[in-house]
């Protein structure tokens, strides 16, 4: 299936988003035939990353800021047969939409979230986000960001995500493999992508020198959290931090299987 669209790509030349787009298209092409592209839905948020929905020839929903995880949940509850992949930004996910993210992970919605974590608000031209490093100088922090960033992987592990990974777009093959595994995982899959923003936070050289591949996925949550906190500015693990089998929210509340009515679903969603 042709995944390209006629839309003109407007990302800055050299933006890490191109590699995320390429890795996703590769992944879709390499998925088992049981995953049908016509049954896939792409959801995107607000920010430079959000335009990705226009560049992929699959059904899509370009949502509002911070609500990608909620849209993913709604789509899965309406039709659990769909394969849902969300693309969101760091500001989108960890500032505006943090609560939505945490609850989608807690519920173990069977969907995949790919975060374009460029550690800056790209579309609004360079403000610090909740993942910007301390000292980051941008439009909103000209003297340097006084705050420490979230440890995004640890946050997702604690929230209950059942597949947690980090990747770097400089290694498209590795990113492709992780996207494939995330999509095939039954449960909430989170991929933190260290995306360079060439215009406001150009981290290509920095990440090329500092990322290293995790040799073996930790077998316990404790070990995964330790690995998440082992990251230093010069040694950043990429790969799969954690993977666990657990019943999904859809399995627990699907009306046709459980007889639970829509009122109960709404109550559980509160
Ligand atoms: C509710 C709401 N608040 C704020 C904005 C303004 N806004 C648009 S994009 C953006 C941040 C984008 O940063 P990020 O999510 O990191 O995406 P990027 O552009 O870096 O891909 C903000 C604050 C908005 N569109 N909607
Ligand atoms: S501003 Fe940054 S994130 Fe946005 S398209 Fe340009 S390089 Fe990419
Ligand atoms: Mg961003």
One DSSP character per residue, 69-84 reads: HHHHHHHHHH-TTSEE
Q: CB of 123 closer than 6 A to ligand 1? A: yes
Tell me the pLDDT band of 251, cut-offs 50, 70 and 90.
confident
Domain total in the chain: 1
C-alpha span between 145 and 162 (Å, rounded): 32
Q: In the predicted model, is pLDDT for residue 257 greater than 60? A: no
Smallest-distance ligand from the CA of 197: 2
pLDDT digits (tens, 9 = 90+) for 105-157: 999 999 999 999 999 999 999 999 999 999 999 999 999 999 999 999 999 99
In this prediction, residue 75 carries a pLDDT of 95
Please check whether residue 188 lies inside any domain of the structure. yes
Angle between helices 68-78 and 98-107 (to 10 degrees): 40
Question: For residue 227, what is the domain's CATH number?
Answer: 3.40.50.970
Among 17, 45, 62, 91, name the best residue to mutate to test ligand 1's pocket (greatest count of ligand atoms within 8 A of Cβ). Answer: 91
Please check whether residue 152 lies inside any domain of the structure. yes
Query: In this predicted model, which residue has the larger pLDDT, 269 or 202?
Result: 202
Q: In the predicted model, is pLDDT for residue 245 greater than 70? A: yes
Please check whether residue 38 lies inside any domain of the structure. yes
Please check whether residue 8 lies inside any domain of the structure. no
Expressed in angstroms and rounded, the spacing between residue 95 Cα and the centre of ligand 2 is 18
Please check whether residue 236 lies inside any domain of the structure. yes
- Can you give the pTM of this predicted structure? 0.95
In this prediction, residue 252 carries a pLDDT of 85
19-33, 124-138, 243-257: lowest mean pLDDT where?
243-257
Residues 6 or more apart in contact with residue 170 via CB below 8 angstroms:
19, 204, 207, 208, 211
Expressed in angstroms and rounded, the spacing between residue 14 Cα and the centre of ligand 2 is 9
Please check whether residue 5 lies inside any domain of the structure. no
Quote the domain boundaries for residue 123.
17-269
């Amino acid at each position: 299936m042709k995944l390209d669209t006629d839309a003109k790509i407007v990302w800055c030349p050299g933006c890490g988003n191109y590699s995320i787009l390429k890795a996703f298209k590769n992944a879709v092409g390499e998925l088992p035939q049981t995953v049908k592209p016509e049954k896939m839905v792409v959801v995107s948020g607000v920010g430079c990353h959000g335009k990705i929905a226009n560049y992929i020839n699959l059904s899509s929903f370009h949502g509002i800021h911070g609500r990608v995880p909620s849209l993913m949940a709604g789509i899965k509850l309406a039709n659990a047969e769909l394969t849902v992949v969300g693309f969101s930004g760091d500001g989108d996910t960890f500032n505006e939409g943090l609560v939505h993210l945490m609850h989608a992970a807690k519920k173990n919605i069977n969907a995949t979230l790919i975060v374009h974590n460029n550690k800056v608000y790209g579309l609004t031209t360079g403000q610090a986000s909740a993942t910007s490093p301390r000292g980051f100088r941008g439009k909103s922090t000209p003297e340097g960001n006084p705050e420490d960033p979230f440890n995004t992987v640890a946050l997702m592990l604690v929230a209950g995500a059942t597949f947690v990974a980090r990747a770097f777009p400089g290694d498209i093959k590795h990113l492709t493999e992780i996207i494939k595994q995330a999509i095939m995982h039954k449960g909430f899959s989170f991929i933190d992508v260290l995306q360079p923003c060439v215009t406001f936070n150009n981290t290509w050289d920095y990440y090329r020198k500092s990322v290293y591949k995790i040799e073996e996925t930790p077998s316990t949550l404790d070990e995964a959290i330790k690995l998440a906190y082992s990251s230093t500015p010069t040694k950043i693990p990429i790969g799969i931090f954690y993977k666990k089998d657990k019943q999904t929210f859809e399995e627990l509340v699907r009306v046709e299987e459980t007889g639970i009515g829509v009122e109960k679903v709404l109550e559980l969603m509160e």
